């Protein structure tokens, strides 16, 4: 699978991930803030990858997802809290309204 990487923006502490825009997304978290991810238009069977970049320096960002996102082991995803860290999330839409997420950590 290949495609363009869509850069996500943060507005009012929210990053909107529209699954119809592609399968590859990237975001740099704002320092010292929690970014709320809102997923829309998921298609049953679709896989989406999101690269989450931490800003350089000691002040890192955190993330929050809606309850419709299910995480492996039932534990919410926590972004790596190290400056310049890169996490890779893989989300799979099992139904049209819920996604399961798996996490990989890149350094």
CA–CA gap between residue 22 and residue 4 (Å, rounded): 7
Mean of pLDDT values over 2-31: 95
Q: What mean pLDDT value characterizes the chain?
A: 87
pTM of the model as a whole: 0.86
* Model confidence at 88: pLDDT above 80: yes
* Model confidence at 107: pLDDT above 50: no
CA–CA gap between residue 69 and residue 67 (Å, rounded): 5
* Model confidence at 68: pLDDT above 70: yes
φ, ψ at 57 (rounded to 5°): 105, -175
CA–CA gap between residue 11 and residue 16 (Å, rounded): 9
φ, ψ at 99 (rounded to 5°): -125, 150
């Amino acid at each position: 699978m290949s495609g363009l990487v869509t850069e996500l923006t943060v507005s009012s502490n929210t990053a909107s991930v529209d699954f119809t825009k592609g399968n590859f997304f990237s975001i740099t978290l704002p320092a010292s803030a929690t970014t709320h991810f809102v997923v829309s238009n998921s298609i049953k069977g679709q896989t989406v990858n999101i690269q989450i970049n931490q800003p350089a320096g000691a002040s890192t960002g955190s993330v929050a997802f809606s309850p419709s996102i299910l995480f492996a082991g039932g534990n919410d995803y926590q972004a790596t809290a190290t400056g310049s860290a890169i996490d890779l999330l893989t989300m799979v839409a099992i139904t049209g309204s819920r996604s399961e997420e798996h996490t990989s950590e890149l350094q």
